[in-house]
Chain A
Amino acid sequence: MITPALSARAALDLDKIDYGGDKPQQEGRREIASRLAYDRSRDDTLIGMHIVNVILIVVTATLYRFWAVTRVRRLVWSKTRFDGEPFEYTGNGLEIFLGFLKVFAVVLLPIGVLAAVVDASIGIPTTMEELATQELYAGAQVVVILSLLEMGRFLSWRYRLSRTRWRGIRGRIDASVWRYAGVALLTVAAWLFTGTLLKPVADAMRAKFVLSRMSLGTQKVQYFGGDVILFGRWFMVAFLSGVVVAIIATAAIPSEDVMESVMAADDINAGEAIVGRLVIALVIAYVLIMWLYFWYRAGFWRYVAEHTRLGGLSFRFHASGTQMFGLWLGNMLILVFSVGLLAPLTWRRRIEFLARHLEVLGALDPAMIRQAAEDDGALGGEGLVGDFDIA
């Protein structure tokens, strides 16, 4: 377990750029873990930039969001370092904007037109066949749109990685989005048709697909994870979530007799008290379920980290579910109380959390990491994802 103080000192050491060539890794230094660091020095600039971005986004009817996210990423990337070297973000707003327009024209427009045509040609179904066609189409539409959103997430990862450099070398994910479509479909099906029970399988498949195709220049990421993992843990989360809901519902929902007497008496105060109690119960249930969920999440990332290698590097993730939950809760509170204006603090908390809890072991041989050809496939931008999903 790495203490924050230790990792902060390690980051400080590494911040001192020496202008010598690469030194061979010293034996003792391998055990100093967190080599990821976040430089807080220009955080006021970042917050100012974010506030200007929010204003410009409002003024331009949200069109500026593509450029806003680009400016922010350029700064955040440059503040984040690995082994003392900052990342560089080379994307530009126009390409994300054009990618968004392309997805709109090629995907959303046809789906919308098809939906209108099917609706207009059937109208009120008069036969079972027409009813079945309509229902089938509506169902297919939900699956297709959710899959498209999932594919958008993949496009976004691929795009961001292809626009990220470290020591001048580009990252990449070497797979077309259409090959990811199968994973996307399974992910959606796992949610829709198995009551989320297959979620760990979908998560594992997604991690495997993406990580095993990821690389830094010519240096490929190796991923050794399996397909069926963490079932027990996820099952426990689902089961305990059910228990939480049952207990809180029993405690907060008044009996029918009480409801009837309140309704009969037309007692507004009593009615409000019931609603108030229900809202509080809902919030408590949500927070408790998220806490359970992060227990699964932490286990998942621990598993993924332990099964990933990059050249001579291996990884360990030490955060517990409760720590991840704390990060999430803190960020939620920051966003709520600052009306989103302090979002940069939540990005910083996320990166610093990762820096604190991700232990990186071993050494990279920089001379062996060569630049790979430009990833033309990633030129299409981020698809439907044009939001503030920064880090």
Chain B
Amino acid sequence: MTAPWAAKDWSVTSTSPETTGSAVLYDGASAARHRVIVTIRADRLSLAPSDERAAGPDCPLSWPWSGVHTLDPRSDGHVFSTDRAPDARLIVADAAIATAIQAWATGDSPAGHGPGFWTRHRRAVIAIGATAMAFLLITLLIKPITEGVAALLPEDAGAAVADQAIQTLAEEHRICTGDDGLIALRSLTNRLAGAAGLAPPVLTVLDLGMANAGALPGRRIVVMRGLIDDAESAAEISAVLAHELAHVVHRDPLAGWIRGDVINLLTSAIFGASAVGDAGQAVTALLLDASYTREQEARADATAIDMLRRTGLTADGGARFFQRLAKQEAVPATLRPVVRLLTTHPGSAERADRFAAAATGVESGLTEAEWAAVRAVCG
């Protein structure tokens, strides 16, 4: 099959100063190979079949320079194409002719084909940059957004999942059931919660040696036996409970969980579901979370002190609790800034000072008898 324009082009005979040479053309219409003579003219590249008896190529044979572009070279020659026939491939083995064509060709190479780092990688750089910007933006906005979402959700949101988590812990570690101790702890918790305008929280004591307590979504408070064992007075328990309730006031646990989910989604969007991704995800999540929680802890301490003041309870317990913690985690002075950067909680000494400076009340929160019952809550 011969296209009409081919006939016209054949009649153009090359004038002497113009460079000519032989090349191979695949016209993009069929897989047939066409032997052609190429002629470099001032305004275009002209092709003409060199074997007039064979079927001619089925593509335009006049390639204006503005549309000619260079593709990746092959081992047997340089490759050119044209906007007029994007599927066509012209293979030029003669290096001198190829260089001449390259010098004349001014067409835009398809992305990733042109010379120079920027031309070859423009789109990659833009796409990676845009993704990095989006990631950065979300990193900056994630805190206000998750906190806003958590505040909009009902107070009970996440309670089911929290209960599931507590249940999982309870499979390994017994839930303590000392009645008198639980009644005393719950009335103390309710009193503090009432001062902050919270509905009564759900309190669980776990038979676990760790000196810790925590707040979970849905007003769930978990106290571990180790905290009660280590406490020197009931006032320490009051202060720690006030601190955990303060987290509930600010909906920190729910916001934290939402943030965790968002971070998971984000990192899997970037890394994909690969093994490399898991490692990257863990590191990103750790770095993102550390700084937020430090702020949250300081805010919770302030709210806790306020709660203690309203209920007329002493903040000395908090001071003693954190002083003891500070001794345990004593670090050489030079390392302190590094530790502060990596830990989620503000320095314990700093927090002890904050509680010590707060003039709140004098009560410890529990009577002697109640305190004894609390100490026996896990039997």
Query: A-side interface residues toward B, CB under 8 Å?
Result: 15, 17, 19-22, 39, 41-42, 60-64, 66-67, 70-71, 74-75, 78-79, 86, 88, 90, 92-94, 97, 100-101, 104, 108-109, 112, 116, 119-124, 165-170, 216-217, 364, 366-371, 384, 386-387
Contacts and interface: CB of A to CB of B under 8 A. Distances in A.
17 contacts: A41-B75, A62-B276, A63-B131, A67-B121, A67-B124, A74-B112, A79-B75, A86-B74, A92-B111, A100-B272, A108-B268, A120-B161, A165-B89, A167-B89, A168-B28, A169-B28, A169-B30
A97 B129 CA distance: 13
Main secondary structure of the interface of B (DSSP, over half): mixed
A181 to B, nearest CB: 19
A94 B28 contact: no
Given A123-B163, A384-B272, 18 more contacts: A19-B24, A21-B32, A22-B33, A42-B75, A61-B280, A62-B271, A63-B131, A64-B128, A75-B72, A79-B75, A86-B76, A90-B110, A94-B111, A109-B265, A120-B158, A366-B31, A369-B30, A387-B274
Given A19-B22, A119-B161, A367-B31, A94 B123 contact: yes
A66 B128 CA distance: 10
B32 A367 contact: yes
Contact of A17 (B24, B88, B110, B128): B24
A369 B264 CA distance: 49
A62 B89 contact: no
Contacts of B164: 123-124
Interface of B: 22-24, 26-35, 51, 54-55, 71-72, 74-77, 79, 87-89, 93, 110-112, 121, 123-124, 127-128, 131-132, 158-161, 163-164, 167, 261, 264-265, 268-274, 276-277, 280
Given A64-B128, A368-B30, A369-B30, A104 B269 contact: yes
A324 B30 CA distance: 36
A122 B87 CA distance: 57
A21 B87 contact: no
Given A41-B75, A123-B161, A384-B273, A371 B110 contact: no
Contact of B163 (A41, A42, A97, A124): A124
Contacts of A70: 112
A225 B150 CA distance: 58
Contacts of A15: 76
Contact of B167 (A64, A104, A121, A124): A124
Contact of B89 (A42, A92, A168): A168
Contacts of B22: 19
B30 A370 contact: yes
B141 to A, nearest CB: 18
Contacts of B93: 17, 19
B273 A167 contact: no
B75 A39 contact: yes
Contacts of A122: 160
A94 B75 contact: no
Contacts of A216: 31
Given A109-B265, A124-B167, A61 B160 contact: no
A374 B269 CA distance: 29
Nearest to A85: B33
Nearest to A41: B75
A384 B128 CA distance: 18
B216 to A, nearest CB: 12
Contacts of A60: 128
B272 A167 contact: no
Contacts of A75: 72
Contact of A386 (B79, B158, B272): B272
Given A88-B89, A367-B55, A17 B29 contact: no
Nearest to A94: B123
Q: Which of A108, A168, A369, A386 has the most CB of B within 10 A?
A: A168
Contacts of A165: 89
Which among A19, A367, A370 has the greatest number of chain B C-beta atoms within 10 A? Answer: A19
A370 B276 CA distance: 43
B46 to A, nearest CB: 18
Contacts of B160: 120-124
A62 B33 contact: no
Contacts of B276: 62
Contact of A62 (B32, B79, B167, B277): B277
Contacts of B280: 61-62
Contact of B51 (A21, A71, A387): A21
B111 A20 contact: no
A61 B112 CA distance: 21
B31 A167 contact: yes
B124 A370 contact: no
Contact of A19 (B27, B35, B88): B35
A9 B159 CA distance: 74
A93 B269 contact: no
A216 B31 CA distance: 10
Given A86-B75, A371-B29, A371-B30, A61 B270 contact: yes
